[in-house]
Structure 1
């Protein structure tokens, strides 16, 4: 039962939490600019994490470990979130952003082989390829058959690629240098580094005007508690427990789950091609995460 819980329930919970980030961004961005929205999110998260650290009497890492954690924070939170939010702000549909970021498992697996010397079997590579095909099918039905132009600027594509690079390299860097740190202390350091980046971005590029509508407040509450606290702590824990390439494969499930959420929230319909793609993605993830360990 314990093995079933950690093998299936925890990864499934992480995928669902992470998928809601695109929904939360869509709800919040009409009322604040990307870096401003993310800066507020980081500051609120830091307050909650600081209280949690006091209650749990968190063990703090040394300066060298703190430096590694700050780099991870800049990559996983700063570059990834900043890239995703600005891509959506510049007109790219959240589904297309999730497709580009959905390439992350392949990038992470390749980086894990080169940097961490992780062994990725033929079965796992096949699973990663199936995951990519599944994600492409989900989003091709929605965006590839409408006969419309892209509707977004080249800058939004660059932001999305930046997000892909950030989450991919951040996952590998965390696995290499940050697995020994306390989760709460490590998250505090990572979010602090991201907050510093968002502060620079907000003051350099934005007006920092915020319309505190009820929709923004509810969106912010979920982005802080559900995403920054729940999903990110789960991600760091999963990276600590498994190989970087196996954890990365979970991101293949995010676009299909996001599409399902969009169906219920925004009445976006899913056809047979998209549902088939979701099943293919699930099979691909299963091939990667259920790889048998050598006896």
Structure 2
């Protein structure tokens, strides 16, 4: 059962990058994101009275913190992912760059949170970033249409997610998952609606591919990824979840190659193997803390 849940989590998480690619040909990034989150936010707000117990004790300060976490971990992160993919960066490369977030967060935990960071963790960070560079170089050299600056955009999203992770890590009383999902999705719905209206991109296109992409993202990426994330987290713990997150890059790369004929040659495979080696090094070099706090919620990391 745990194996099936783990496999489902990796597939649902990877589906977010594929869904972004699926919708990229029919509408702009802000249009897709607006229509992904607007109906979802309305649905979650409508069901909030049925989970009122989860909202009790949530102070205005805690609510404001969740709004900020949502802005960083969902709005900023996802906008970077979608813009990069829309400008031609392959879904696999984008997934690999964003998948380096736990490595970067682990390395920065030392100077920012005064936590012990081992040499193995630093080595893992260097390996992970090396893998990112190798794959990005392979993508750029494959004749892709993406301009050079587009490969920097996923890094902005990744660092936005890192900032949200540290903000969540300093929260003494984390919000329940249902509350966090509602707040984050509502914030994203407002942000992307304002952006879409400001650039006159709010009207959805008539193409069926657009609504297929939106449905794909809501069902597979948000509800599927979010729900399975917490289930696996409860059954298997944070360490296993973080390890599974690193599998999304190779899965997304293979999926994108099969579905969209994105480039996936020997150099890309080499870069992904380096990234997986980085995961192994980090886990071997991790300090012996018995339990760690979960990374910033799930919905957030989910593209």
Superposition pairs of residues 24-103 of structure 1, within 5 angstroms: 24-50=19-45, 53-60=48-55, 61-103=58-100
How far apart, CA to CA, are the structure 2 residues paired with 1:21 and 1:55? 28
How far apart, CA to CA, are the structure 2 residues paired with 1:126 and 1:258? 25
Q: TM-score, normalised by structure 2?
A: 0.77
The answer for the alignment partner of 1:187 in structure 2 is: 181
Correspondence for 1:162 among 152, 156, 161? 156
How far apart, CA to CA, are the structure 1 residues paired with 2:145 and 2:257? 21
Give yes or no for contact 1:137–1:274 (8 Å, CA) kept in 2: yes
How far apart, CA to CA, are the structure 1 residues paired with 2:254 and 2:168? 30
Superposition pairs of residues 215-226 of structure 1, within 5 angstroms: 215-226=209-220
Residues 85-129 of structure 1: per-residue CA shift (max 9 Å, x gap)? 123334444444345434433432243223333322222333333
Offset of residue 22 of structure 1 = 1.7
Give yes or no for contact 1:84–1:163 (8 Å, CA) kept in 2: yes
Distance 1:250 1:178, change over 3 A: farther
Distance 1:236 1:140, change over 3 A: farther
Offset of residue 230 of structure 1 = 3.1
Correspondence for 2:208 among 214, 219, 226? 214
Distance 1:52 1:277, change over 3 A: farther
How far apart, CA to CA, are the structure 2 residues paired with 1:96 and 1:139? 6
Q: CA RMSD in A?
A: 3.4
The answer for the alignment partner of 2:295 in structure 1 is: none
Superposition pairs of residues 219-258 of structure 1, within 5 angstroms: 219-232=213-226, 242=238, 251-258=245-252
Aligned length: 285
Give yes or no for contact 1:68–1:178 (8 Å, CA) kept in 2: no
Give unpaired runs (5+ residues) of structure 2.
291-303
Residues 220-267 of structure 1: per-residue CA shift (max 9 Å, x gap)? 112112222332456678899648xx9767554333221111132124
Give unpaired runs (5+ residues) of structure 1.
none
The answer for the alignment partner of 1:264 in structure 2 is: 258
Correspondence for 2:120 among 101, 123, 137? 123
